[in-house]
Chain A
Amino acid sequence: MTFLQPIALLGLLLALIPIIIHLLNLLRHRTVPWAATRFLFQAQKSSSRISKLKRWLTLLLRVLALAALTFMIARPMTGGDSLFSLTNGSPEVLVLVLDRSASMETTTEKDSLTKRQKALEAFQSFARPWKESRLVVLDSALEEPFFTDNTDSIKDEALQRFFGPTDTAADLPGTLSKTLDWLEETKVGTAEILLVSDMQSSNWELQRNADIMEKINRILSEKKDSWKLSFLNLADPPPYNLSLSLDQVNRMPNMVEPVLNLRKKGRGKEKVRLSSQVNGKSEVLEVELVSQSVLWRPNFDLTNEPEEGWISILCPDDFCQYDNICYLTYGSTEPPQVAVRASNPRTSLILRSASQTEQSELADAIPLSGFSEKDLLSRKILIHQGQINSAVDQVLKDFVVKGGLLVLFPPEVTSSDNSKLLSWNPLEEKLEDETFQVNNWREDSGLLANSSDGNRLPLDRLAIKRRRTPQQGETLAYYSDGKPFLSSLTLGKGVIYAFSTLPISSWSSMSNGYVLVPALQRLIEESSSSNSFIQSWFCGEKESKDSNLFEPIGDAKDNVPYLHAGIYRINGRLTAVNRPKSENDTLFLKTEQIFKKLPNISPRLFDDEPSYGPTGRSEAWSFFLILCLLLLLVEALLGQPAATPKNKAISNDA
């Protein structure tokens, strides 16, 4: 219980007045000579316990009545943690930590308000009892405190930039942590924090953010009596949703082929009409959804289109508008600059053949000796097999950090001179009639993904007799014994791929090309689509926040790349800005999972139902008024003499 006027609690001293009066009365008694004392003594002796009890009860009731009156004047608020936390009822600051990620734009069947709009309404009701508090909003997109005079202004159209929809992801532990840092910096005494989120798992990443959650837990437990945290969980899944995301863009001469991932909620086949725009010209596309998740590769003819342009693809309306659109840009095609540096000549030839371009040219071979940065100046992909000494190691590292793609094959011989880029395990061999088997790999995306017609690459048919497995990197394909067949490692702007066997007959059957060719060609495709004059960003990423010179292409002139997905020209480059892939996450956390990470505090659960009221807080003075009146009534009844003739004075009937 908190009090809006805690100073008035000093009035509790008033409750002592009846006791003081009682004592003073006893002290200030008058002395009366009395004749009939024998009756007084008798009366005193037999003055029933009830009379004494009545007297003490009366005194108690008077004390309690005054105490209740004092509480009433102090304007108590119900719903606090402790019964009497003697703080001012209005905290200094009311903070709304607003999840402004794209997923908060979901609506439900019940009402047309998005979760974000519900969050703003909830904050209005949350702030209603504390009219004297300052209002601050910290949203996950901007992560800057925004001060406002009243809760009505947060719905103002002019402030859409601060409270409106975004296509960003959210890092809620980070935003909450920043909120606490800001409270500490500004030396805020008392604060009520309301965090509103749909609890999308990717917005919390509790495992990765364990340290931050621990820090939040520590700070809030230190400020237990001053800073209170409430949660509003809006994890209401949409009843129907069709989402669209862009996995990859394959640029071909006069054509662009985006790889789109279409996900729908619900079973059964369904034909969906999507609309697309190629440089502003509309087109309708149809796709049949045979399962819940479909990879779709539409082709866009660019014969009559400029060299550089953009395409947007839009799903029909549903309960989640935010995931219905994706944008891509295309530029002029450039043959990828692929080079092969292999110590084994046979391997070198096979690799050069496998990475052959459409112009039927073998990939360049780089001699083993005299390898320097110059050899990689115009290269985008380097396929390397063999030992890497320290000089080569540094050149390759620089190449990858700047954005190059490095595909590594293991050296044939085991050497102690292990590369700093990647280390290999010792050589493993199988007997003549036995082979290593690959049985698990990523089929949905990446180098080893299924073909556009849904066929799997025949990795499980590879006969591998020798292998040297890479020690680092994320595994993309596994052998049956769990060791990596192919792994990838991100370094700077580039990526290193490491195969564990060689495409020569003494090592494996990879030379047949069924696996090697698609893998390398996909790599080349992906690389060639990245043009120096176009780029693709995710909304809310650091690059989008840092960009200053931008111009939205299309109607939405007020859009900004760090908040809104769309096509922009940023620093002269045509840029497609899409919502981050993490926003496609369909896993939602329960509030208890977050509470478990905050064991030292007891966050409240705010219910946005109107009947619930703001965290159950309301002024309770009327209760104390009624209590006071009741106490006085009982006191008056106790003070009434019993209506018996005994009580009347004795009349002279002589």
Chain B
Amino acid sequence: MARSRKSYSHYVDQDSLNRISGEPLLTPFPMEGSISGQHRSPHKGSSVEFAEYREYTEGEDPKRMDWRVFARTDRYYLKEYEAETNLRAHFALDCSGSMNFGDRISKFEFSKKLLSTLAYLYVGQGDAVGLHTIRHRKTQILPAKRNPSQIQEILEIIGPLKPKGETRLTESLHEIAETVRMRAMVFVVSDMLDEPKEILNAILHLRDRKHEVVLFHVFDPQELNFTFDRPTRFVDMEGGGSLITEPTVIREEYLARLNAHINQLKKGCLESQACYHQVRTDSPVVRVIDDFSANRIGGKAA
């Protein structure tokens, strides 16, 4: 009897596809791909984009020699072009218990939508997409592929996933930095409830490996507003105990701490040329992707 397969296609946000479709999402960093694509490569190749003139040395293929320059200068120059390749986009999804928080939609469900939509867009433009689900005990890895079926694979992995346990974000990011050899784009979708210093270390590690890092810091509006007005017992979703308190009394201090945490991450990302995005689950996915792609659509990224 054939196993009935549940469809998770609803995770792909149709509004975003309608908005972005047709416009390539580019990266400001050169990428190493296996095939030609739309992204800049660190290598010279045979695209239409002129790169530079270089003096000819013996033994090189005279096919790319610019004879017009030779006619003017009586010297042999080679005309070089930018190579264009595809990119590997690796999505790291935080599956810790804290991601389950949310009023109308949990941070995890929102992250799933964001991740699925982005993966769809990248596969659509011929890029390879991989998945790292960072769970309590281990990280499940789906290697990057550019097959259209890869989307289905990803949806089937994240669709039934339930967030639980403590976060292993920094550890997993270090693993990704070690395991992904070629230059790639690493999307981190998490609530970043870890030591900012540790997270920034992991980002630096990724950057050392020439990966472009994009951080989606996911928040529920409640976390940002903290508008509780009566005594509340807050239970840690990752099993870290509970706390009964008068929210009005500690609100000020709580928001100050949270703000300091966000600012530290932002500053660290800026310094390490990683891209930081604060995401609220009450915002539509299309708006998040819109913000993300503002400098990436329709030409070379800055």
With contacts A35-B101, A35-B107, A35-B220 known, is A44 near B226, CB below 8 A?
no
A40 near B: Cβ within 8 Å? yes
B291–A654 touching, CB < 8 Å: yes
Q: Is A38 part of the contact surface with B, judged by Cβ < 8 Å?
A: yes
Q: How far is the CB of B157 from chain A (nearest CB, A)?
A: 23
Q: Are B233 and A32 in contact (CB under 8 A)?
A: yes
Which of A31, A40, A642 is in CB contact (< 8 Å) with B254? A40
B70 within 8 A of A: no
B262 near A650 (CB under 8 angstroms)?
A: yes
Contacts of B230 in A (CB 8 A): 25, 28-30
Closest to A36 in B: B223
A1-59 with Cβ < 8 A to chain B: 25-26, 28-44, 46-48, 51-52, 54-55
Mark B220-235 against chain A: 1 for CB-CB distance below 8 A, else 0. 1001111110111111
**Which residue from A25, A34, A39, A48 sits with its C-beta under 8 Å from B258?**
A39
Contacts of B171 in A (CB 8 A): none
Within the assembled complex, what's the spacing in Å between the Cα atoms of A649 and B228? 12
For B235, B252, B261, which residue has the most chain A Cβ atoms within 10 angstroms? Answer: B252
Given A40-B250, A650-B259, A652-B280: A34 touches B235 (CB 8 Å cut-off): yes
Q: In the complex, how many residues of chain B place their beta carbon closer than 8 angstroms to a beta carbon of chain A?
A: 53
Which of chain B's residues have a CB closer than 8 A to the CB of A44?
Answer: 243, 245, 250, 253
Contact A29 to B259, CB < 8 A, known contacts A38-B193, A39-B254, A642-B252:
no
Interface majority SS (helix, strand, loop, mixed), chain A:
mixed
Q: Is A36's CB under 8 angstroms from B252's CB? A: no
Could you say which of B234, B249, B252, B255 contacts A37, with CB atoms under 8 Å apart? B234
Tell me, rounded to whole Å, the shortest Cβ–Cβ distance linking A23 to chain B.
Answer: 10
Q: Interface segment, B7-15, B35-43, B44-52, B271-279?
A: B271-279
B277 and A47 contact, CB distance less than 8 A? no
Are B251's CB and A36's CB within 8 A?
no
Bound complex: CA of A35 vs CA of B96, how far in Å? Answer: 10
Query: Are B231 and A25 touching (Cβ within 8 A)?
Result: yes
Among B223, B257, B261, B291, chain A packs the most CB atoms within 10 A around the CB of B257
Known A649-B225, A654-B291: A35·B191 in contact at CB below 8 Å: yes
Write out the residue numbers on chain B whose beta carbons fall within 8 Å of the beta carbon of A39: 254, 257-258, 261
Residues of B within 8 A of A34 (CB): 101, 234-237
| Nearest CB of chain B from residue A86's CB, rounded to whole Å | 37
Whether B249 contacts A654 by the Cβ 8 Å rule is no
Residue A370 at the B interface, CB < 8 A? no
Residue from A33, A642, A651 in contact with B237 in the complex, judged by beta carbons closer than 8 Å: A33
User: Does A532 touch B at the CB level, under 8 Å?
Assistant: no
Q: Which A residues are in CB contact (< 8 Å) with B71?
A: none
Cα distance A31–B241 when bound, in Å?
A: 12
Closest Cβ–Cβ distance, residue B1 to chain A (whole Å)? 39
What's the minimum C-beta distance from B259 to chain A, rounded to whole angstroms? 6
User: In the complex, what's the smallest C-beta–C-beta distance from B284 to chain A, in angstroms?
Assistant: 12
> Once the chains bind, are B235 and A36 in contact (CB under 8 Å)?
no
Whether A641 is near chain B, meaning CB under 8 Å from some CB there, is: yes
Q: Which residue of A lies closest to B236 (CB)?
A: A37
Contacts of A642 in B (CB 8 A): 252
Instruction: Indicate whether A650 sits within 8 Å of B250 (C-beta atoms), given known contacts A37-B236, A38-B193.
Output: no
CB contact under 8 A between A55 and B235, given known A30-B230, A35-B193, A39-B258: no
Bound Cα distance from A47 to B226, whole angstroms: 15
B contact patch SS: mixed
**Nearest B residue (CB) for A25:** B231
Q: How far is the CA of A32 from the CA of B234 in the complex (A)?
A: 5
Q: With an 8 A cutoff between CB atoms, is B139 at the interface?
A: no
Contact B237 A652 (CB under 8 A): no
Is there an interface contact between B226 and A646, defined as CB atoms closer than 8 Å? no
Give the residue of B246, B253, B288 whose beta carbon is less than 8 angstroms from that of A46.
Answer: B253
CB-CB under 8 A from A649, the residues of chain B are: 224-227, 255
Q: A29-B231, A30-B232, A44-B243 are in contact. Are A36 and B250 (CB under 8 A)?
A: no
Contact check: which of A28, A35, A641, A651 meets B252 at CB < 8 Å? A641
Inter-subunit contact A43/B250 (CB<8 Å): yes
B21 contacts partner chain A, Cβ-Cβ < 8 Å = no
- Give the distance to chain A from B295, nearest Cβ to Cβ, in Å: 13
Does the CB pair B278–A653 fall under 8 Å?
Answer: yes
In the complex, A647 has a CB within 8 A of chain B: yes
- For A48, what are the chain B residues with a Cβ–Cβ distance below 8 Å? 253
Chain A interface extent, by class: 35 or more
In the assembled complex, the Cα of A157 lies from the Cα of B106 at a distance in Å of 93
Query: Contacts of A37 on B, CB cut-off 8 Å?
Result: 234-237, 240-241, 243
Distance to closest chain B CB from A323 (angstroms): 81
A291 to B101, CA, bound (A): 112
Chain B, residues 65-103, CB within 8 Å of chain A (1/0): the string is 000000000000000000000000000000000111100
Query: Are A654's CB and B278's CB within 8 A?
Result: yes
B223 contact set on A, CB distance < 8 A: 35-36
**Quick one: which of B237, B276, B291 contacts A35, CB cutoff 8 A?**
B237
| CB pair B236 A646 closer than 8 Å | no
Residues of B within 8 A of A43 (CB): 250, 253-254, 256-257
Asked if B2 is at the interface of the complex by the 8 Å CB criterion, the answer is: no
- Whether B140 is near chain A, meaning CB under 8 Å from some CB there, is no
Cα–Cα, bound, A48→B291 (Å):
39
Q: Determine whether B244 belongs to the interface, using a CB cutoff of 8 Å to chain A.
A: yes
Chain A: which residue is nearest B215 at the CB level? A654
Which residues of chain A are near B279, meaning CB under 8 Å?
A: 652, 654
User: Quick check: is B283 within 8 A (CB to CB) of the other chain?
Assistant: yes
B276: nearest chain-A partner, CB-CB:
A654
- Chain B residue nearest in CB terms to A650: B224
Separation of A639 and B161 alpha carbons in the complex (Å): 44
User: A31 with B235: in contact, given A44-B243, A650-B259 (CB under 8 Å)?
Assistant: yes
Whether B98 pairs with A36 at a CB distance below 8 angstroms is yes
- A51 nearest CB neighbor, chain B only: B249
Nearest-CB residue, chain B, relative to A48 = B253
Which B-chain residue is minimally distant from A37 (CB atoms)? B236
Q: What A residues does B283 contact at CB under 8 A?
A: 652
Cβ of B276 and Cβ of A51 under 8 Å apart? no
**B226 close to A654 (CB less than 8 A):** no
22 contacts between A and B (CB under 8 A): A26-B231, A28-B230, A28-B231, A32-B234, A32-B235, A34-B234, A34-B236, A34-B237, A35-B98, A36-B191, A37-B236, A40-B245, A44-B243, A51-B249, A641-B251, A646-B259, A647-B252, A649-B225, A649-B227, A650-B262, A652-B224, A654-B277
Known: A41-B243, A43-B250, A650-B258; 18 extra A-B contacts, CB below 8 A, are: A29-B244, A31-B242, A34-B235, A35-B100, A36-B98, A37-B235, A38-B193, A39-B254, A39-B257, A40-B245, A42-B253, A55-B246, A642-B252, A646-B255, A652-B219, A653-B278, A654-B217, A654-B279
Sorted from nearest, which 7 A-B pairs have the closest CB atoms? Answer: A35-B98, A654-B278, A43-B253, A35-B101, A34-B234, A29-B231, A649-B225
A residues within 8 Å of B by Cβ?
25-26, 28-44, 46-48, 51-52, 54-55, 641-642, 646-654
